Amino acid sequence: MPPISMKPPALASGQAIGVCAPASPPPQEDLGRGLAVLASLGHPLKVSGTARATGGLFAGSDAERAKALTDLWDDPETGAIVCARGGYGSLRILPFLDLKAMAARPKIFAGFSDATALLIALSSQAGLVTFHGPVVTSLGPGTPEDAADLAAAFTCAAPVTLKAPRPVTLAPGRAEGKVLGGNLTTLCHLAGTPWQPDLDGCLLFLEDRGEAPYRIDRMLSHLRLAGVFNGVRGVALGSFTDCGRTEVLHPVLLDAFSKTGIPVCAGFPAGHGTENRTLPLGIPARLDAEAGTLRYLESALLP
């Protein structure tokens, strides 16, 4: 089982929100639009040099990107950190981070897509509650509800409920467990590494973008055969954007868990789709596959 959850304090009035790029350099126009949305939440911003990087595959060297994240984490004025974008490269900085030291000083950390590597590593290896939610470059074109939901996740100590607007029950039932997961491709890349999560007793959340159904099947099959899914109690599926027709994709998603008898529900508004609600990782929730709800049983934040 994952370690006992360590919750970060709620973002206090006057505390800064830090922004760093642990992977690819963000398009600066998209970054500017997203920073304006982030600033509208009423907190000062601290933008690392990696977030201002342009060109190249990564926003600085692995060591530079890890240092930018660590520096924001060590800054006492910064209460939350949001990834500038996804892209590729977050898993490369994992060896440069002292995850347990970071979790010993709990801080709100949010992102999705490629940042799944950091979310999972902090949650499953160090016990820190993290937040699967928008990156800065997705806030500009995102919905106002996404920004409001991100702000509430940073400041509200009440348990949250994620509701699928049009739930698709692939396998009925109810289950409870800690929520872990994120981007399927990134989760697959963690398999066999020291940062592979222990999903025993967990509810698994998955989403992805731009992967054909056969590649989705290949990743799910690899994770299943590697034993990564052992002990999973239920599956909540977010958006699978540009991943093929649902009548082809849903059977592929179900097949990976069909012999386990666990509940599987698709349609949650999180991931690369038009909506990307914020959901905590590392605390228990109750999945109701027929109602299409993921109801958290406790707060993700310290009051």
Closest CA to 128 of 4, 21, 15, 10: 4
Task: For residues 130 and 281, give the distance between their C-alpha atoms in angstroms, rounded to a whole number.
Answer: 5
**Token pair of 211, please?**
């992967």
Active site (catalytic) residues: 113, 207, 272
**Token pair of 122, please?**
């902090």
Task: For residues 184 and 262, give the distance between their C-alpha atoms in angstroms, rounded to a whole number.
Answer: 19
Task: For residues 43 and 37, give the distance between their C-alpha atoms in angstroms, rounded to a whole number.
Answer: 11
Q: Are 85 and 24 a contacting pair, CB within 8 Å? A: yes
Q: Give, as one character, the DSSP assignment of residue 273.
A: S
**Token pair of 270, please?**
């999180």
DSSP per-residue codes, 19-66 = EE-SSSPPPHHHHHHHHHHHHTTS--EEE-GGGG--SSSSSS-HHHHH
Residues whose CB is less than 8 angstroms from the CB of residue 253 and which lie 6 or more positions away in sequence, other chains included: 170, 206, 216, 220, 235, 237, 240, 264, 266
Give strand ranges (E) for the chain. 16-20, 45-47, 78-83, 108-111, 130-132, 161-163, 168-171, 174-183, 202-209, 234-241, 264-266, 279-281, 284-288, 293-296
On the 0-12 / 13-18 / 19+ scale of CB atoms within 10 A, 273 is middle
